[in-house]
Amino acid sequence: INKYFIQSISIDKLLDKDISFPKESKMGLTGLINSRNNCYMNSVIQCLSNCFQFTKYFLSNLFLDDINTENKISNGKISKCYKKLLKNLWKKDYESTNSDIFRDIFINEDDKRFKGFEQYDASEFLIFLLDKLHIDLNRVNNNEYFKLREKLENETESQASLRWWKNYLKQNDSIIIDLFYGQLKSCVTCPNCNYDSINFNSFLSLELSINQNKNYHLINIEFIYYYKESPTINFN
């Protein structure tokens, strides 16, 4: 995907953005207190905190320009509280800080998941949190439904992929999409006529099951960087 499809905030702008830190700052080395079985949440927050482009976006207050005022779910509360938590992690001199206030904010906005003091799945919480932040910071207020057709005969795969991505951005455009989303090519072949149905779906995470049998197959993953000039990497 060409980098000019990042709209309001560009990756280059985040890389070039300078953030001033107090001399006494712990610079992201602040710990999070595990209380009430919230270690699953703290581990996710620490991982996201060290995605420095994402952290720059909040600490530099660039996120304020992207808050979706039409969002009636939290109206920016979650993203603003997340910024305060990052400030405690990066700009203060604490040895550790508490994430309970942040937890209480997003729990108040959701009446089903992550209530109570049980241990939850960290990957499930990561998807939940990024989805809530995306809703907060989505630059698009268009709820129009777009029906996407599979790859056309006169299209190359690159053209079809780009068409699907453009249509996705018509409804979803946030820093979450810019940094964490990808696109998955799906190909289904008809066993009778050998016709290939090719689709390109956006994704936030990919789950790979671990085969418990000793006889396993290698999985080939082709990773394509966001920038055109970057190479393609194959993982086996």
**pLDDT digit string, tens, across residues 32-74:** 998 878 899 999 999 999 998 899 999 999 899 899 887 777 7
The pLDDT value recorded for residue 55 is 93
Report if pTM > 0.75.
yes
From residue 72, give the alpha-carbon distance in Å to each of 64, 133, 141: 16, 13, 12
Q: Is the pLDDT of residue 115 over 80?
A: no
* Number of CB atoms found within 10 A of residue 65's CB: 10
Q: Is the pLDDT of residue 104 over 80?
A: yes
d(Cα 41, Cα 186) in Å, to the nearest integer?
32
Q: Calculate the dihedral angle through the C-alpha atoms of 143, 147, 148, 153, rounding to the nearest 10 degrees.
A: -150
The pLDDT value recorded for residue 8 is 47
Higher-confidence position of 97 and 5: 97
The pLDDT value recorded for residue 15 is 65
The pLDDT value recorded for residue 223 is 67
The pLDDT value recorded for residue 109 is 64
Asked if 4 and 41 touch (Cβ cutoff 8 Å), the reply is: no
Q: Give percent of the chain above pLDDT 90.
A: 32
- For the record, the structure tokens of 182 come out as 């990808």
